[in-house]
Amino acid sequence: MIDPRCISRLNEAEEKRGPVIYWMSRDQRVQHNRALLFAQMKAKALGQPLRVVFTLASSFIGATYRQYHFMLEGLREIELLLGEMNIGFVLLQCSPQSGGPGKELEGYAGSSGAGCVVTDYSPLRISRQWKQQAAASLKVPLYEVDAHNIVPCHAASGKQEYAARTFRPKINRLLGEFLQPLQAVEAMPHRAELQKVNWREVFANLSVDRTVEPIDWLKPGERAAGEHLRRFISEKLPRYSELRNDPTAEGTSLLSAYLHFGQLSAAQVALEVQSSGAPEESKAAFLEELIVRRELSDNYCAHQEQYDAYEGLPGWARQSLEQHSLDPREALYSPQEFETAATHDRLWNAAQKELLHTGRIHGYMRMYWAKKILEWSPSPREAFETALWLNDRYALDGRDPNGYSGVAWSIGGLHDRPWFERPVYGKIRYMNASGCRRKFNVERYIAKQETG
């Protein structure tokens, strides 16, 4: 049984006899997936086949080959896993002329005689638009199931939260009700007679920017994600609270790309972490990031229409930044100078090189990286745009609510409080290299990024 608070019905059309379609989008995994489980329950109750459909957009908020590659390798595995359970997988490659994923899905649902469609939840604008389009034109019901958040975004809070301190009690109040093991998705009784996806063609047909190359340090897919999680729990979680702010120690989980593509369920991560023998302090520190901070980001994007724009920043922060917008800067760089790691600061350049070459920046350095973009850009608005552009272009976990809120926190005081006023930053929390030196061996971090 899926808690009804996880489910929203997006249109009023009547159910028909026909296959149940799970329109997979943000939650790209088979197990521990509320949306797929809900679709399977419907299919079984109606005695109908179940199909999983992925509509591959021809572009997605500036995603490059690096991110498409990771995602498609994960989807390729999903086709195999589903095949073992007699569940068909269909990949619809949308051309720029096709009218977009919502239209494509509607066409497929019509031609395959679907009885109802289930999809997963995302607060991002583009995803909401696809669903609105599909909901308006589908002749069968469209259900949306929040399979990403542990406490469904709409149940957690009905408004934009000011800070983790206002959100935390709301989450904690409901956590016990939602953080429950899910039953497994099971094999369907009849084989799905569907054509296999021609993956070679899918990769070849991609018309995205291929100059940003795939990474090879993290294996994509649901199975690899599970193995990675278990290694993290046994090897790193016990010292998470001690080492997480040291970029040379690699003490964090490196799970964000798996979570971003939904190749891993946050609920499953939380359950496995809770039941591990790691010290309570480390478990609590990790679960604060995984649950409170991560779900606070979805809350931000769900309730702030301008989550990816300077205008979305809190009023006090914008006012303060604007009062300091003409302050002299220690240095000024263009977006291209930032991109090519050509600043005067070896530590900043090292973080940017980490991003360029590995598709990530350690969480602690990510804050420093964004704050220096604020310090060395001609205006706070340009800083916001540059940081978001670089993050989304190069980071494997980019275009995530965490990215929008992370940039807005660093540059625009989102979910933070006003600090002592200082040049350029105004009342935004400041960070400098001396602070980094006190936390970790900066030279070791720089050397690591310079030698690759």
Ligand X SMILES: Cc1cc2nc3c(=O)[nH]c(=O)nc-3n(C[C@H](O)[C@H](O)[C@H](O)COP(=O)(O)OP(=O)(O)OC[C@H]3O[C@@H](n4cnc5c(N)ncnc54)[C@H](O)[C@@H]3O)c2cc1C
Note the residues at the interface with ligand X (CB under 6 A).
Answer: 244, 252-256, 259-260, 289-290, 293-294, 297, 363, 366-367, 370, 391, 395, 397-398, 400, 402-403, 406-407, 410
Nearer to ligand X, 151 or 255 (CB): 255
Nearer to ligand X, 160 or 256 (CB): 256
Least separation in angstroms between residue 52's CB and ligand X is 24
DSSP 201: H
Least separation in angstroms between residue 179's CB and ligand X is 15
- Classify burial at 7, counting beta carbons within 10 Å of its beta carbon; exposed 0-12, middle 13-18, buried 19 or more: middle
Torsion of CA 237, 254, 125, 166, to 10 degrees: 30
Helix, strand, or coil here: 54? strand
CA distance 150 to 292: 10
End-to-end CA distance of the chain: 49
Tokens of 137: 């034109």
Least separation in angstroms between residue 71's CB and ligand X is 14
Residue 143 has φ and ψ, to the nearest 5°, of: -105, 140
Least separation in angstroms between residue 92's CB and ligand X is 27
Residues 163, 416 contacting (CB under 8 angstroms): yes
Nearer to ligand X, 72 or 259 (CB): 259
Residues 6+ apart with CB under 8 A from 291: 150, 151, 171, 175, 266, 270
Least separation in angstroms between residue 148's CB and ligand X is 11
Nearer to ligand X, 122 or 256 (CB): 256
Helix, strand, or coil here: 64? coil
The owner of tokens 């046994």 is 234
Least separation in angstroms between residue 117's CB and ligand X is 28
Least separation in angstroms between residue 262's CB and ligand X is 12
Give one DSSP letter per residue of 335-360, joined into a string. Answer: HHHHHTT-SS-HHHHHHHHHHHHHS-
- Classify burial at 243, counting beta carbons within 10 Å of its beta carbon; exposed 0-12, middle 13-18, buried 19 or more: middle
Nearer to ligand X, 23 or 364 (CB): 364
Helix, strand, or coil here: 295? helix
CA distance 205 to 18: 31
Nearer to ligand X, 174 or 270 (CB): 270
Nearer to ligand X, 64 or 297 (CB): 297
Least separation in angstroms between residue 96's CB and ligand X is 25
Least separation in angstroms between residue 374's CB and ligand X is 10
Nearer to ligand X, 124 or 259 (CB): 259
Helix axis angle, 380-394 to 315-323, nearest 10°: 120
**Proportion of the chain in helix, strand, coil states, percent, rounded to 5:** 50, 5, 40
DSSP 451: H
Residues 6+ apart with CB under 8 A from 95: 58
- Classify burial at 336, counting beta carbons within 10 Å of its beta carbon; exposed 0-12, middle 13-18, buried 19 or more: exposed
Least separation in angstroms between residue 163's CB and ligand X is 12
Least separation in angstroms between residue 54's CB and ligand X is 21
Nearer to ligand X, 203 or 389 (CB): 389
Nearer to ligand X, 46 or 285 (CB): 285
Nearer to ligand X, 199 or 430 (CB): 430
DSSP 221: S
